[in-house]
Amino acid sequence: MQYKLSKRSQIIKGQSEIRAMTLACTARGGINLSQGVCDTETPIPVLAGAKEAIDRGDNNYTRLDGIDELRIAVAQKEKAYKGIDVDPHNEVVITNGATGALYNAVMTLLDPGDEVVVFEPYYGYHVATFLTAGININYVRMEAPDWDFKKEDVINSITDKTKAIMINTPSNPCGKVFSEEELLFLGEIAEKNSLYIFSDEIYEYFVYDGLQHISPASLKSLKERTIIIGGFSKTFSVTGWRVGYVIAPSEITPLLGQFNDLVYICPPAPLQHGVTVGLNTLGKQHYSKLRDDHFELREIFCSTLLKVGMTPYIPNGAYYVLSDISSLPGENCKDKVMRFLDKTGVAGVPGYSFYHDNSGDNLVRFCFAKEKHIIEEACNRIEMAFKK
Ligand code: PLP
């Protein structure tokens, strides 16, 4: 039988590179630095909180905006960490991961034919979420090594159909941490053109080099147009739990909640309790340890890349590094990354996965959120292979 697939399913097909590299890596018994799965152990209070919730019988649907305790804990965190006043009862919706949060925001605020500004290199799910919803994307290039962008590129990317600017700070895949000056500039543009700012802050605690994570919602009057997208996958190493949140003006949140309800009903109830316990009991040292541990991993891994001539663009945040593969043998980007996997046993993601054109062809992305001994082993393998 001939299956006639939707146009949007053709868009999704292109997003499978990371999973494909994972399969290729497994087949070769390699070290998988392609997928953004954090190896750090889940904090015990988070696990205990979820187990206790199951045993207590908290196993049913929750409210469509999530449990009170978690919304309150999220609002407290936003105030303490970013200085943002958030009303937990009207401005927070607990969602199925940051992924669900963006999806709900797109469904609530955008229509097919609308346009969104996306900085590239980008996170593929952002782009796929927009494209499958019929939203057109105007790309603004961030250039290595500092991943700066030109103000005029942003200005020129706005048309009368543009409805939002998507930012990801700290960013996957390049680790850019947007500065206050950049955010104020984007805020000015957003205000002038009545745009929303979608701000994916899932890596909010992974910031290095003395920089600070800043949310646009904490600046001037930008909170009223900022949709914060966040989650616990990275902070508590629970990528499979699917608990995140969206923070938005109270006029919007009821509908955001209804879209979450429509697709998922709610994030798993006991897991909402688990992350609540984490937020309420883990002290500052949990977050500073996350930062310090990943900083150390960054240093170890990037020094190996440098040694073998694959210039790393040192990330200021998140836990990925884009590295230059122009000196590697191979016919094209995919071929180079596959040969690198064959030669070293270490898998990365071909750079074109993060660009809408061929600008990423000389790049590979590695994820360094692994246990230290795994990163050391990966470094060892790379250095040995390049010695031969
Ligand atoms: N946003 C960014 C920028 C990511 O890199 C990822 C995961 O890699 C996600 C969102 C996914 O978050 P969640 O697991 O909460 O859906």
- 323-340 pLDDT, tens digit per residue, is 999 999 999 999 999 999
pLDDT of residue 154: 98
CB 340 within 8 A of CB 348: yes
pLDDT of residue 273: 98
Banded pLDDT at 383 (limits 50, 70, 90): very high
Q: Does residue 19 have a pLDDT over 80?
A: no
Q: Does residue 22 have a pLDDT over 90?
A: no
pLDDT of residue 141: 98
Give residue-wise pLDDT tens across range 228-274. Answer: 999 999 999 999 999 999 999 999 999 999 999 999 999 999 999 99
Instruction: Look at the block and give the residue holding tokens 């440098």.
Output: 306
Alpha carbon of 101 to ligand 1 centroid (Å): 10
For the residues 80-84, what does the mean pLDDT come to? 96
Residue 343 is given by DSSP the state H
For the residues 49-60, what does the mean pLDDT come to? 97
Using alpha carbons only, how large is the chain's radius of gyration in Å?
21
Q: Is 98 in the pocket of ligand 1 (CB under 6 A)?
A: yes
pLDDT of residue 388: 66
Q: Is 362 in the pocket of ligand 1 (CB under 6 A)?
A: no
Q: Is 182 in the pocket of ligand 1 (CB under 6 A)?
A: no
The ligand 1 atom nearest the CA atom of 318: 5
pLDDT of residue 7: 84
Banded pLDDT at 18 (limits 50, 70, 90): confident
SS3 384: helix
For the residues 87-115, what does the mean pLDDT come to? 97
Alpha carbon of 104 to ligand 1 centroid (Å): 14
CA–CA distance, 17 with 23 (Å, rounded to integer): 10
Least confident of 18-32, 58-72, 100-114: 18-32
Give residue-wise pLDDT tens across range 282-308. Answer: 999 999 999 999 999 999 999 999 999
CA–CA distance, 39 with 142 (Å, rounded to integer): 29
